[in-house]
């Protein structure tokens, strides 16, 4: 009996390790590097006071005349999420730079300027001995990350998504805690920034407490993580289904509400993209209904409808009633054709 138990535990080890690997919560050195450069160039909102932000300025304040800082100061309008360029770097501290083929920042500042800026930030990394500072704070980064991870894990959001689909896919989440970010949270699309990280879904979040003290460390909030796990995660889960049923989905292209303002605002230019977004938003809403409450569910559906994702209003309850509240289907892949059938019957093509 003991031998069987040991074998069973060994068999479980890879699965346990995989679950632990699925969620990483820490400070990303590239994002931190670019954030500090922008702060020195007055091209980033001032961080909320903390012992850490004081230590950053005490250490890096003397480098305001560095070429990387001057380069970012030369950009006309600089956005807070420009710091995502830190994901173009890898292999810290011996930095390798990936030069994306296309990205929105090229259109804004010019490709040559963006690539020059990235290289100058690498110089800043070396000239300021950034890695020494980063390593000195590693224990605190780990502590902050572990505290937030405990909160995220308590929601069992990843497990709930897996339970919804009832099949596995290779997907990982990275919460990038940004102690100098006082402005807000957002997702980072690593796919275009650096393909080697394309299997990571990245969510950037900061320290938002106003009136903080230079004597205390920042605290990170567990907020809106559902959208990363349930929405962005669903894009990965349904990708194979979209390919498998590509023809059937294309046959419903007459449903594309291409003239709606929400489609333009979200830069949705074709039916395949529109269908994908309506699907993941409907799935997310149905999960809100199951795991949050009716008010949160209704609020989510109303928000999506107001943004012209017009099929969520029907799809979300259809998925909830016929899949989440049913044992008829082995998994979501088994149920998916019913969604296509539902849309064709509810919105028939006019002759």
Residue 268 lies in a domain: yes
Closest C-alpha to 144, from 221, 92, 255: 221
Q: Is the peptide bond before 216 cis (omega within 30 degrees of 0)?
A: no
pLDDT per position as a tens digit, 79-117: 999 999 999 999 999 999 999 999 989 999 999 999 999
pLDDT at 134: 98
pLDDT-above-70 percentage for the chain: 93
CB 266, CB 281: distance < 8 Å? no
Over residues 197-223, mean pLDDT: 85
Q: How confident is the model at residue 301 (pLDDT cuts 50, 70, 90)?
A: very high
Is the model's pLDDT at 8 over the cut of 50? no
223, 257, 280 - which closes a domain: 223
pLDDT at 14: 36
Distances (CA, A) of 262 to 187, 282, 300, 309: 19, 16, 16, 8
254 and 210 together in one domain: no
Interatomic CA distance for residues 351 and 343, integer angstroms: 17
pLDDT at 6: 35
223, 257, 278 - which closes a domain: 223
The count of structural domains within the chain is 2
pLDDT at 15: 34
CB 210, CB 238: distance < 8 Å? no
pTM for the model: 0.77
210 and 278 together in one domain: no
Q: Which conformational region is residue 98 in: left (phi greater than 0), alpha (psi within -120 to 50 degrees), or beta?
A: beta
Interatomic CA distance for residues 73 and 332, integer angstroms: 50
pLDDT per position as a tens digit, 110-156: 999 999 999 999 999 999 999 999 999 999 999 999 998 888 778 88
Closest C-alpha to 174, from 141, 202, 198, 204: 202
pLDDT at 16: 34
218 and 297 together in one domain: no
- Placement of tokens 């490709």 in the chain: 111
Over residues 180-206, mean pLDDT: 88
Enclosing domain of residue 102: 25-131+148-223
Over residues 237-263, mean pLDDT: 95
215 and 284 together in one domain: no
Please provide the distance, in angstroms rounded to a whole number, between the alpha carbons at the two ends of the chain.
Answer: 69
Residue 17 lies in a domain: no
CB neighbourhood size of 266 (10 A) = 15
Q: What is the mean pLDDT of the chain?
A: 90
Q: How confident is the model at residue 189 (pLDDT cuts 50, 70, 90)?
A: confident
Q: Which conformational region is residue 267 in: left (phi greater than 0), alpha (psi within -120 to 50 degrees), or beta?
A: left
Residue 238 or residue 9, greater confidence: 238
191 and 82 together in one domain: yes
Residue 139 lies in a domain: no
Residue 2 lies in a domain: no
289 and 337 together in one domain: yes
pLDDT at 180: 95
Q: In what order do the strands lie in the sheet with 23-26?
A: 23-26, 172-178, 200-206, 186-188
CB neighbourhood size of 226 (10 A) = 20
The conformation of residue 96, written as its DSSP 8-state character, comes to E
Residue 349 or residue 53, greater confidence: 53
Closest C-alpha to 196, from 73, 56, 114, 98: 98
Is the model's pLDDT at 74 over the cut of 70? yes
Q: How confident is the model at residue 21 (pLDDT cuts 50, 70, 90)?
A: low
For 210, the token pair is 């106003």
Q: Parallel, antiparallel, or unpaired for β 23-26 and 172-178?
A: parallel
172 and 286 together in one domain: no
34 and 165 together in one domain: yes
117 and 216 together in one domain: yes
pLDDT at 337: 98
164, 190, 223 - which closes a domain: 223
CA angle 144, 139, 145 (to 5 degrees): 20
Residue 11 lies in a domain: no
Dihedral of CA 70/74/80/86: which sign? negative
Interatomic CA distance for residues 343 and 348, integer angstroms: 8
31 and 165 together in one domain: yes
pLDDT at 331: 97
CA angle 195, 198, 202 (to 5 degrees): 130
pLDDT per position as a tens digit, 206-217: 898 877 788 999
Is the model's pLDDT at 19 over the cut of 70? no
Distances (CA, A) of 73 to 44, 67, 193, 216: 11, 10, 22, 30
CB neighbourhood size of 206 (10 A) = 23
Residue 176 lies in a domain: yes
181 and 301 together in one domain: no
70 and 165 together in one domain: yes
Over residues 35-54, mean pLDDT: 96
pLDDT at 198: 87
Is the model's pLDDT at 224 over the cut of 90? no
Residue 233 lies in a domain: no
Q: How confident is the model at residue 169 (pLDDT cuts 50, 70, 90)?
A: confident
- CB-facing half-sphere around the CA of 197: CA atoms within 13 A: 23
pLDDT at 219: 86
Residue 187 lies in a domain: yes
């Amino acid at each position: 009996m003991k031998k069987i138990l040991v074998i069973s535990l060994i068999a479980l080890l890879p699965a346990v390790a995989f679950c632990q690997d699925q969620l990483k919560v820490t400070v990303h050195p590239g994002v931190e590097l670019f954030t500090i450069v922008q702060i020195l160039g007055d091209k980033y909102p001032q961080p909320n006071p903390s012992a850490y932000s004081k230590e950053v300025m005490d250490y890096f304040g003397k480098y305001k005349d560095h070429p990387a800082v001057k380069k970012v100061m030369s950009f006309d309008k600089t956005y807070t999420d420009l710091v995502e360029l830190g994901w173009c770097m890898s292999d810290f501290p011996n930095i390798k730079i990936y030069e994306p083929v296309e990205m929105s920042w090229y259109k804004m500042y010019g490709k040559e300027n963006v690539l020059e800026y990235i290289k100058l930030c690498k110089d800043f990394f070396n000239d300021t001995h950034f890695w020494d500072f980063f390593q000195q704070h590693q224990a605190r980064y780990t502590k902050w990350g572990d505290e937030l991870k405990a909160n995220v894990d308590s929601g069992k959001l990843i497990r709930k998504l897996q339970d919804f689909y009832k099949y596995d896919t290779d997907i990982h989440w990275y919460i990038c805690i940004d102690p100098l970010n006082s402005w807000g949270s957002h997702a980072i699309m690593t796919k275009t920034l650096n393909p080697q990280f394309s299997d990571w879904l990245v969510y950037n979040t900061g320290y938002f407490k106003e009136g903080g003290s230079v004597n205390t460390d920042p605290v990170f909030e567990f907020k809106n993580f559902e959208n990363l796990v349930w929405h962005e995660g669903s894009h990965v889960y349904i990708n194979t289904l979209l390919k498998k049923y590509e023809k059937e989905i294309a046959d419903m292209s007459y449903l594309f509400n291409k003239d709606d303002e929400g489609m333009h605002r979200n830069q949705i230019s074709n039916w395949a993209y529109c269908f994908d977004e309506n699907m993941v938003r409907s799935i997310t809403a149905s999960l809100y209904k199951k795991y949050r409450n009716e008010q949160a569910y209704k609020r989510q559906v109303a928000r999506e409808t107001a943004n012209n994702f017009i099929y969520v209003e029907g799809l979300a309850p259809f998925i909830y009633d016929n899949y989440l509240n049913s044992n008829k289907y082995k998994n979501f892949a088994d149920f998916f054709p019913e969604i296509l059938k539902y849309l064709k019957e509810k919105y028939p093509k006019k002759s």
